[in-house]
Amino acid sequence: MNEAQNTIQTRVIPNDVMMREIAVHIGEGRSVELLCRGNSMNPFLCDRRDSVILSPVTENIKIGDVVLAKVRGGHFVLHRVCRLEPLTLNGDGNFSGSVEYVETVLAVMSGYVHKGKRGTVQDREWRRYSAFWALATKLRIGNWSLRRVVLGFWRRAHRDLVHKG
């Protein structure tokens, strides 16, 4: 195989086109692997490094589930469910601010690729991370949650992974 045949081509697809395609595949009962874009799910899922496996919603959504949702304004977010009534989402990497204006949930995260290693949301590693993150959100140090402190340290230590655009 020569060098020209061994190169991978990258195409940029507009977000609305990609999300329509994802919705079609999910609607047909298939799972989709999607490269993470953005920093809202740091520190475990990093922009342009990790991927998520999204699957159809087959049972009731629970607090702690990570979902792909369309929110007011037509934007799509991959965030964790933090409240059911009203459905409220928050990105693991967001210091504050929750999304309450969910129009529709397209899919639920069933797996991930983290630093090249595949896993599912049922794996011990993901369950431990999720439990720690839930606890870190509740534990307070003055006006700051432990989650905010951990995120601050993580962002400073991993500036190369936090993309600005």
**Tokens encoding 142:** 């003055």
Please report, as a single letter, which amino acid is at residue 68.
L
pLDDT at 96: 66
**pLDDT tens column, 34-47:** 999 888 888 889 88
Is 0.85 surpassed by the pTM of this model?
no
| Intra-chain end-to-end CA distance of the chain, in Å | 35
pLDDT at 62: 94
pLDDT at 156: 79
**Tokens encoding 101:** 């204006």
**pLDDT tens column, 105-131:** 999 999 999 999 999 999 999 999 889
pLDDT at 99: 76
CATH of the domain at 126: 2.10.109.10
Residue range of the domain that includes 78: 3-161
pLDDT at 119: 96
Please report, as a single letter, which amino acid is at residue 55.
S
pLDDT at 137: 80
Question: What span, in angstroms and rounded, lies between the C-alpha atoms of 85 and 24?
Answer: 27
Mean pLDDT for each 10-residue chunk of the chain (165 residues)?
59 84 94 90 88 95 94 89 89 75 91 94 93 84 79 76 55
Question: What span, in angstroms and rounded, lies between the C-alpha atoms of 54 and 133?
Answer: 21
- Structural domain tally of the chain? 1
Question: What span, in angstroms and rounded, lies between the C-alpha atoms of 121 and 102?
Answer: 22
